[in-house]
Amino acid sequence: MVNFKNFLKNLYNFDNASFIEETDEGTFVFYPTIYSKGYEVETLRELTPILLYWRISTVFSIFFIMTLSIILLIFLHQIFDISGLFTIVILTICLTSCIVSGFFMITLRKYHRIKPKQKLPVKTKAICAVFGIVYLSFCVWVLCMCPCLIYGHNIENQEWQKAMNKINFYIKFQPKNDNLYENRALAKYNLNDIDGAIKDCDKALELNPKNSWVLSAKAYYTFIKTRKMTPEINSMFEKSMNINKKHYPIAYSDRAKVYYLLGESNKAVKDFEQAYLKSGNEYFNYFAAIAYEQKGDYCKAFAYYNTVPQNKHFNITELPMKKEYARFMCKD
């Protein structure tokens, strides 16, 4: 019996065997921790499945957290192209640990349970509760925020069909998320489904009437469909601008593109300049320069091209050529 105690002690890396107690009746009680109920057995040999359960339940606890985090793992798999096999292996381990732990949980029901040696301190309970709330909040945040991270890189790479497929998936789980509809409208527009894009804009506005981006986008998509700048379309642009007057340049930019396509260069330049003033983003100066070229003012276009930065976050491959052409055509 002493040898078996020593075997358990060495196997489970305990400094002492105090987790096993012998009762006056000659039975044995195993305490996983001083705060957990003990399991009473007739002989030490009966501890084998209990100890196995204990170890596996610890693994299960770890993988339970990993199961909650698996959402993040799957998201990362899609964002950074982590091996699909790795994801499958992790999920398999999680499920296996759940099944095995559940099996031993049933096995332990036949053993008599003894009260724990000590009660868990209130301070420790509070710390655990705070940690649990923070962790669950983080998981919810990941669930809500990661959709845009997943399809965002597809949009940046102009992989519109892939982006739309992923957005379709998330809409099933978040049918009242207006941001999903507005981004699917963008994907549909770039896939030449103008009617579908307008329909998604209507749905997004139904969910959030104050979404100025969607209102501006709907106005632009409607123009692309009708090829006319109607009072209704201009009213949508104006309403979008009024929703967020200080720092919302998209409505000005979208309306400027409409004027540019109609050949109304002066109005296009004015709105692109307003978009820059609202945001401070030199990206709009690039379009203002193009509008000035359409207008025939190459000197002004060259001046605007010079304000556009070139770096890894803002890379326009045709910028150097356009800048040189504007310089060449400038008569002053």
Beta-strand relationship, 38-41 and 112-114: antiparallel
Q: Specify the DSSP class assigned to residue 314.
A: B
pLDDT of residue 14: 45
Residue 108: inside a domain, yes or no? yes
Cα 236 to Cα 111, 209, 249: the distances in Å are: 72, 12, 14
In a domain, 50, yes or no: yes
Q: Does an H or E element contain 22, and which?
A: strand 20-22
Q: What is the pLDDT of residue 81?
A: 46
247 SS3 class: coil
Is residue 262 assigned to a domain?
A: no
- State which H helix or E strand residue 331 sits in: none
And the tokens for 224? 């692309």
SS3 171: helix
DSSP annotation of 113 reads: E
Total number of domains constituting the chain: 1
Q: Which residues of 42-185 form beta strands (DSSP E)?
A: 112-114
DSSP letter at 110? G
Q: Is residue 325 part of a domain?
A: no
Q: For residue 45, is it within any domain? A: yes
For residue 14, count other CB atoms closer than 10 A to its CB.
12
Q: What is the DSSP string of 45-78?
A: GGHHHHHHHHHHHHHHHHHHHHHHHHHHHHHHHH
CA–CA separation, 83 and 114 (whole Å): 47
Tokens coding 169: 């998936």
State both tokens at 180: 């999903």
Q: Distance between CA atoms of 121 and 179, rounded to whole angstroms? A: 45
Long-range Cβ contacts of 276-283 (<8 Å, 24+ apart) = 276/249, 278/246, 278/247, 278/248, 278/249, 278/252, 279/247, 279/249, 281/249, 282/307, 282/308, 282/309, 282/314, 283/308, 283/314
Q: Which of 231, 285, 160 is nearest to 293 (CA)?
A: 285
CA distance 55 to 49: 10
Q: Would you state the pLDDT for residue 322?
A: 86
In tens digits, the chain (332 residues) has pLDDT values of 456 556 555 544 444 445 777 787 888 887 777 777 877 888 777 777 777 767 666 666 666 666 656 555 555 555 444 555 665 666 676 677 677 777 777 777 777 778 887 777 888 788 888 887 887 777 667 666 666 666 777 777 788 888 888 888 788 877 888 888 999 999 999 999 999 999 999 999 999 998 888 999 999 999 999 999 999 999 999 998 888 766 568 889 999 999 999 999 999 999 998 888 888 888 888 889 899 998 889 899 899 888 887 765 566 778 888 888 888 888 76
Q: With left for phi above 0 and alpha for psi between -120 and 50, is residue 105 left, alpha or beta?
A: alpha
| Residue 7 falls inside a structural domain | yes
For residue 14, being part of any structural domain is answered with yes
Alpha-carbon distance 41 to 21, whole Å? 10
Q: Supply the range of the domain harboring residue 60.
A: 2-119
Q: Is residue 157 part of a domain?
A: no
pLDDT of residue 204: 93
Q: Is 37 helix (H, G, I), strand (E, B) or coil?
A: coil
CA distance 214 to 88: 38
